[in-house]
Amino acid sequence: MRIFEQGQIVRVPFPYTDKTTRQHRPALVISRTAVGDRQTLLWVVMITSAENRGWPGDHDIGPAYRDIGLPARSVIRTSKIATVEMRHAEPVGKISSTLLERVAQT
């Protein structure tokens, strides 16, 4: 089983609010360790295109999106949090410690 760390960007099936639809998209791992009874879950927040309308609590990744493996300029949407199974997470990259600190303060 892969080990994921806080600050890593992963590609996961992120649930929509209707709870029946899921879309594979990038997300930021915010849990310090795996969670759940068997330590097989991750807490993640959504990453979305910077072209979308901004929400309170969004954090712009800026030009670093290229270096961390994202296809377009993106924002971390801290108001959209989900619990996902680790086995469905694919590693993409990692954000800077400075950006992680800003996200953690949200």
At 79, which CATH number? 2.30.30.110
Residue 3 in domain: no
DSSP state of 67: T
pLDDT of residue 19: 63
Residue 1 in domain: no
pLDDT of residue 7: 97
Higher pLDDT, 75 or 35: 75
Higher pLDDT, 19 or 86: 86
Residue 34 in domain: yes
Number of domains in the chain: 1
Residue 20 in domain: yes
Other Cβ atoms less than 10 A from the Cβ of 6: the count is 17
Other Cβ atoms less than 10 A from the Cβ of 46: the count is 23
Residue 78 in domain: yes
